[in-house]
Amino acid sequence: MNRMGEYRKPRIGVYICQCGSNIAATVDTEAVAEFASRLDGVVLTRVNKYTCSDPGQATIRKDIQEQKLDRVVIAACTPRMHEPTFRRTLESAGLNPYYLEMTNIREQVSWVHPAGEAATHKAMDLVAAAVERVHLHRALYPRKSPIEPAALVVGAGIAGIQAALDIADAGYQVYLVEREPTIGGKMAQLDKTFPTLDCAT
Amino acid sequence: MTTTPEPFEPRIVGFLCNWCSYAGADAAGTSRLKYAPNLRIVRVMCSGRVSPELVVRTFREGADGVMVLG
Amino acid sequence: MMDAGRHPNIRLLSYSEVVEVHGYVGNFQVRVKQKPRYVDIERCTGCGACVEACVWKDRVYSEYEAGLGLRGAAYIPFAQAVPMKAVIDPNSCLFLTRGKCSQKCVQACEARAIHFDQKEEFIDLKVGAVVLATGYELTDHPSLARYGYGLYDNVIDGIQFERLSSAAGPTGGRIVTRDGRVPETVVFLHCIGSRDEDAHEYCSRICCMYGAKQAHLALEKTGGRVYQFYIDMRTAGKGYEEFYKRMQHEGVRYIRGKVAEVVPDAENGKLLVRGEDTLLGRYVEIPADLVVLLTAIKPAEGSRELGKLFGVAVDKDGFFAEAHPKLRPVDTTTDGVFLAGCCQSPKDIPDTVAQASGAAAKAIVLLSKREIEIDPTVAEVDRDKCSGCGECILACPYHAIERVEGKAQVNIALCKGCGTCVGACLAKAIIGHHFTDEELIAQIEGIFEREPEYSFP
């Protein structure tokens, strides 16, 4: 839906990563790309050697701007690795980063299945799932919340005192809470300390 | 009309938690462990996200088995 | 210590405990309970007149002296105490326990600082970051009884040795037995309660080295024989191996073996330390005047409860759990809460200082941002659909949902976007942004799109 409330067909770009031979040796990436190109809403499909590389990301940026892509699907490694990378790519091309959908055809396909039709089919199904899902993605915006410029330090032994002094020296208010009537902790009880044998307090 | 009976290949959908089982599936990949290609994984941010309706819906779409791992 | 008491940016809240925590990274609201010390801290000059006047003077075991010295009910914990203010112990003060006392302390105090009607006070703080540095205590595991701990006067722990050796301590720095004799033989036992499946499995890490230091002091101050029973010496640390070598040259006798028991020798009043020398392969029995147990560090009492307030878990040994053992040793799983010192794991002074500065740096980085960005992939309640049943409040593992005017409301700063509430909501009133029902169903439909009637591979 656009702002007027009418449905506008999304323009989806699908990028199939070969990850060198990590994916390409097992999954027929060209076949997956061909399959993806026929999916509803997909206007562009590419197979990349390394999608996460600088040229790989530059291509995505260029496509977003020139082909007016408004959704991006990347079939590559686990999103736990590069989702933040590609979200930044979208953002730098002026697209809301939450219009990205990644699907995992390396850790969860090419690395766990033998080369062949089954692996390629699995990659196809995952790409189809990602394309269906990305249709419904919406622009999301992070919210901001102010930070209280003060710190609480609980415990006033060596660790607490050191942390409190460092934070206080940086110019922030520190509340140093100690449950005993006096600070110093165990350190205050120590005689000389090794290896220098100097005074502890 | 005759058809050659094919071995049963179940279609399994797994809902995996991003922080544990999905990471575990990634680790299986990193260690190059092998398992049957009958599984399609859906990443969720917690297995608690998966409502019974979602499971039923997955069966209705054609799944033979549904796994919720968390 | 003095610096912390004087720093203009540090407000010291001694004799105080955190009792309540609300909020989230950047915006914690913390309630601190200040226990009554029955002394007006503004008026008290630390002169010590009340300490002298207290009718219970030198009749209570001093915590600071680890039970080797005495104090009164009105006391100043030690000579360089910060703050240098008196405190009245509610557990021993005659007036506070029995309601009857001549109150000589009140008469002695020229500053009129003693107020027996003082009540506990609650102080509400707003902070952006938190550092937990609750430290350790020495174990008093029941299995220590086999070494005579708590049974014989001349079996002491490491902290008690420190007090004996300290020039400001109860003996003025003379290392003597409880009956005042200079010991001819001091025996140190390593790994007491640590590396021991009956007590604590972990290595307590500091004992090898503080044992070496105490051996040096014992040797220097008593001129007697000093033995160390060890399992193996762990001297990883800058200058540590060299220090250990130096102790061997100074004449400390290291015996590899674990002691089986410490028993009294009825004939001469000494203690018999019985064990095995595993290098010589023979049984040894050493008559000792003083036995020092190098007891394990364990997390401070109450750390588990404190952790709960901040959403910080403890590990199997009770130490605070860091977010990642290698990559995030200072962070916790609660954003904005950091760890420093032995509350996270046993560590020596250099490592404690380093971690504390690390925690401080983390806190400073956070505070210097002024604003925090909150991930938008969180849950949101559709108030029109919400029935206010509260299922989501029970389901949320992060306590991020509360009922506001009868309807659920998500605190997006606490929400981690797990979607458990979305799955739990019977009215489908919660939108899990980026993981909506519609998105997940579309994804599932996509999986079966290729050839709907056939099986997968």
Chain B neighbours (≥3 Cβ pairs under 8 A) are: A, C
C-alpha distance from A18 to closest chain B C-alpha (Å): 16
Are C38 and C18 within one domain?
yes
Residue in C closest to A38 by C-alpha:
C450
Q: Is C304 within a domain? A: no
pLDDT in tens, B20-37: 999 999 999 999 999 999
Which residues on A lie below 8 Å from B61 (Cβ)? none
Boundaries of domain holding C395:
379-449
Are A87 and A26 within one domain?
yes
Q: Tell me which of C298, C328, C355 is where a domain ends.
A: C298
pLDDT in tens, A81-104: 999 999 999 999 999 999 999 999
Which residues on B lie below 8 Å from C445 (Cβ)? 61
pLDDT in tens, C307-340: 999 989 999 999 999 988 888 999 998 899 999 9
Are A126 and A154 within one domain?
no
Are A155 and A107 within one domain?
no
What is the pLDDT at residue C24?
87
Are A21 and A97 within one domain?
yes
Q: Is A141 within a domain? A: no
DSSP lists the bridge partners of residue B15 as: B42, B68
CB atoms inside a 10 Å sphere around CB C457: 16
Q: Tell me which of C129, C147, C179 is where a domain ends.
A: C129
Query: What's at B40, amino acid-wise?
Result: R
Are C172 and C289 within one domain?
yes
What is the pLDDT at residue A6?
58
Per the structure, the count of domains in chain C is 3
Band (pLDDT 50/70/90 cuts) for residue C108 is: very high
What is the pLDDT at residue C132?
98
Chain C neighbours (≥3 Cβ pairs under 8 A) are: A, B
Strand intervals (E) in chain B: 12-17, 39-44, 65-69
Residues 6 or more apart from C285 whose CB is under 8 A from it?
Answer: C272, C273, C274
pLDDT in tens, C150-199: 999 999 999 999 999 999 999 999 999 999 999 999 999 999 999 999 99
Question: Between chains, do C422 and B49 touch, taking CB under 8 Å as contact?
Answer: yes
Query: Is C111 a residue whose pLDDT tops 50?
Result: yes
Answer whether A58 touches C (CB < 8 Å): no
Per the structure, the count of domains in chain A is 2
Q: Tell me which of C298, C322, C356 is where a domain ends.
A: C298
Are C193 and C290 within one domain?
yes
CA C298, chain centre distance (Å): 8
pLDDT in tens, C269-308: 899 999 999 999 999 999 999 999 999 999 999 999 999 9
CA B37, chain centre distance (Å): 10
Q: Is A62 within a domain? A: yes
Query: What's at A163, amino acid-wise?
Result: A
Residues 11-50 of A with CB under 8 A from C: 35, 39
Lowest mean pLDDT among A67-71, C360-364, C411-415: C411-415
Question: Between chains, do A189 and C81 touch, taking CB under 8 Å as contact?
Answer: no
Query: Is A1 a residue whose pLDDT tops 60?
Result: no
Q: Is C353 within a domain? A: no
| CATH number, position C191 | 3.50.50.60
Q: Is C312 within a domain? A: no
Are A64 and A159 within one domain?
no
- What does pLDDT average to over chain B? 92
Question: Between chains, do C424 and B42 touch, taking CB under 8 Å as contact?
Answer: no
Are A130 and A154 within one domain?
no
Are C140 and C125 within one domain?
no
Q: What is the ipTM of this complex?
A: 0.93
Are A127 and A82 within one domain?
yes
Task: Please identify which residue in the block is written with the tokens 């008593």.
Answer: C222
Are C145 and C285 within one domain?
yes
What is the pLDDT at residue A146?
92
Rounded distance between C-alpha atoms, residue C357 and residue C133, angstroms? 12
| CATH number, position C435 | 3.30.70.20
Question: Between chains, do C435 and B10 touch, taking CB under 8 Å as contact?
Answer: no
Among A137, A135, A13, CA closest to C449: A135
Are C150 and C278 within one domain?
yes
pLDDT in tens, C221-240: 999 999 999 999 999 999 99
Cβ–Cβ under 8 Å, residues C281 and C256: no
Cβ–Cβ under 8 Å, residues C92 and C60: yes
Are C157 and C56 within one domain?
no
Q: Is C265 within a domain? A: yes
Q: Is A59 within a domain? A: yes
Which DSSP helix (H) or strand (E) runs through C49?
A: helix C49-53
Q: Is A145 within a domain? A: no
Rounded distance between C-alpha atoms, residue C71 and residue C52, angstroms? 10
Are C178 and C85 within one domain?
no
Are A123 and A45 within one domain?
yes
| pTM for the whole structure | 0.78
Question: Between chains, do C424 and B51 touch, taking CB under 8 Å as contact?
Answer: yes
pLDDT in tens, B39-66: 999 999 999 999 999 999 999 999 999 9
Which DSSP helix (H) or strand (E) runs through C223?
A: none
Fill in the DSSP letter of residue C427: T
Boundaries of domain holding A166:
150-199
- What does pLDDT average to over chain C? 94
Are A79 and A103 within one domain?
yes
Q: Is A87 within a domain? A: yes
Band (pLDDT 50/70/90 cuts) for residue A5 is: low
Rounded distance between C-alpha atoms, residue B14 and residue A86, angstroms? 25
Average pLDDT, integer, range C109-136: 97
Query: Is B3 a residue whose pLDDT tops 80?
Result: no
Q: Is C331 within a domain? A: no
| CATH number, position A101 | 3.40.50
By DSSP bridging, strand C225-230 and strand C253-256 are parallel
At residue A160, the 3 state secondary structure works out as: helix
- What does pLDDT average to over chain A? 93
